[in-house]
């Protein structure tokens, strides 16, 4: 009662001026806020401290926690004193000069409780670069504590120099098995393909698929790829071998699409005799252009209902076909029907065969 009355009297006597928490002496500074020297100078006597804007004796224990006002950083709260345990609440409970210091191990100013604000919680109190509002980096971690990892909101450059973030690391070219669709690596590699974009870009560096023999039932192989960017061409080359014949010649080359989404792609087929293999690209013999299924064959029925040259002989023989060596080099160009329509990640699948009927 007496202390309350005393505080009331002090408030009355000092009406119009106030002290700031922790002040003990003012020595002529402006504490009234009007830009001039306060008539209340000094704010508090040397043996007083400011508690809730009122000067009280430094020896007084206003909150009854056993610590006088001169030692207590908040003499209005018995839970706050030099002997208190720090609690994560945005308050300096133990009067150490820092709030929530056991909950801010990395000393970045953000605690694991966020001072009671969920949005201000530090999600990694071992790294001062990680806290709410921190810039997001490409590192596989949630740097700004918003629940997302390496997210690109368009305001931060996760990777400098035009790279893109993938699996926590900056990349400056597409990883194996992927292809960039739109020419902008910053938004990643949109297409999946085992066909590297630098393979088979023209006839001189066509992807060499080796030999296709026409004996023993022939050979068939399949190839898959994508045409990105839109004006890209994918070239393959192979040698169709006409194996020595014994009564029947099964030579029959065929190139066709097995998958062609929305008929986006077409095939051009080139052929040259092996003796002129170097001219296949220099002066290609175009044997088919702009189609989806090509065949090169010397099929003659021979009256037996079969395909190929059957029967045939090595010499001109009445009633039989002449078995000739049709071995040749072929080049295939896969391209878009309309490059101006833009590229897609849609894959094509082609089949090459020889001696298959």
Smallest CA-to-CA distance from 240 within 320, 201, 298 is with: 298
What is d(CA 74, CA 63) in angstroms, rounded to the nearest whole number? 9
The whole-number pLDDT of residue 123 equals 93
Q: Can you tell me whether residue 220 is helix, strand or coil? A: strand
Closest CA to 328 of 277, 292, 278, 281: 277
Listed residue (54, 62, 46, 47) closest to 10, CA to CA? 54
Contact criterion met (CB below 8 Å) for 17 and 55: no
Rounded to an integer, what is the distance from CA 16 to the centroid of its chain?
A: 62
> In the prediction, which pLDDT does 20 show?
59
Q: For the chain, what is the largest distance between any 2 Cα atoms, rounded to a whole number of angstroms? A: 139
Residues of the chain with pLDDT under 50: 1-17, 21-41, 300-306
Q: Are strands 312-313 and 321-322 parallel, antiparallel or unpaired?
A: parallel
Q: How far is CA 229 from CA 59, 261, 340, 341, in A?
A: 82, 16, 11, 11
For residue 9, the model assigns a pLDDT of 34
Which pLDDT score is estimated for 320?
A: 67
Whole-number average pLDDT of the chain = 80
In sequence order, the 6+-apart residues with CB closer than 8 A to the CB of 121 are: 110, 111, 112, 113, 114, 132, 145
- Backbone angle region of 271, left / alpha / beta, with phi > 0 → left and psi within -120 to 50 → alpha: beta
């Amino acid at each position: 009662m007496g202390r309350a009355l005393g505080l009331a009297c002090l408030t009355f006597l000092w009406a119009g001026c106030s002290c700031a928490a922790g002040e003990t002496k003012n020595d002529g500074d402006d504490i009234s806020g009007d830009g001039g020297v306060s008539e209340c100078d000094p704010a508090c006597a040397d043996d007083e401290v400011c508690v809730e804007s009122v000067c009280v004796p430094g020896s007084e224990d206003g909150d009854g926690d056993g610590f006088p006002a001169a030692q207590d950083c908040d003499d209005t709260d018995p839970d706050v004193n030099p002997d208190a345990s720090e609690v994560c609440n945005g308050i300096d409970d133990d009067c150490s000069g820092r709030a929530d210091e056991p909950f801010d191990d990395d000393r970045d100013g953000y605690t694991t409780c966020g001072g009671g604000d969920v949005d201000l919680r530090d999600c990694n109190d071992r790294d001062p670069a990680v806290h709410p509002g921190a810039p997001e980096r490409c590192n596989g971690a949630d740097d700004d504590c918003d629940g997302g990892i390496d997210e690109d909101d368009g305001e931060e450059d996760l990777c400098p120099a035009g790279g893109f973030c993938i699996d926590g690391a900056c990349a400056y070219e597409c990883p194996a098995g992927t292809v960039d669709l739109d020419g902008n690596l910053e938004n990643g590699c949109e297409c999946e393909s085992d066909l590297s974009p630098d393979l088979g870009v023209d006839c001189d560096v066509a992807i060499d698929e080796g030999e296709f023999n026409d004996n023993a039932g022939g050979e068939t192989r399949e190839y898959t790829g994508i045409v990105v960017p839109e004006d890209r061409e994918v070239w393959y080359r192979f040698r169709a071998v006409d194996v020595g014949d014994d009564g029947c010649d099964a030579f029959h080359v065929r190139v066709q699409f097995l998958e062609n989404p929305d008929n986006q792609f077409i095939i051009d087929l080139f052929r040259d005799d092996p003796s002129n293999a170097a001219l296949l690209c220099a002066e290609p013999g175009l044997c088919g252009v702009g189609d989806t299924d090509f065949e090169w064959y010397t099929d003659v029925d021979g009256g037996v209902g079969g395909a190929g040259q059957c029967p045939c002989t090595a010499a001109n023989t009445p009633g039989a076909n002449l078995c000739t060596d049709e071995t040749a080099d072929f080049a295939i160009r896969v391209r878009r029907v309309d490059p101006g329509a833009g590229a897609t990640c849609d894959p094509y699948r082609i089949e090459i065969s020889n001696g298959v009927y």
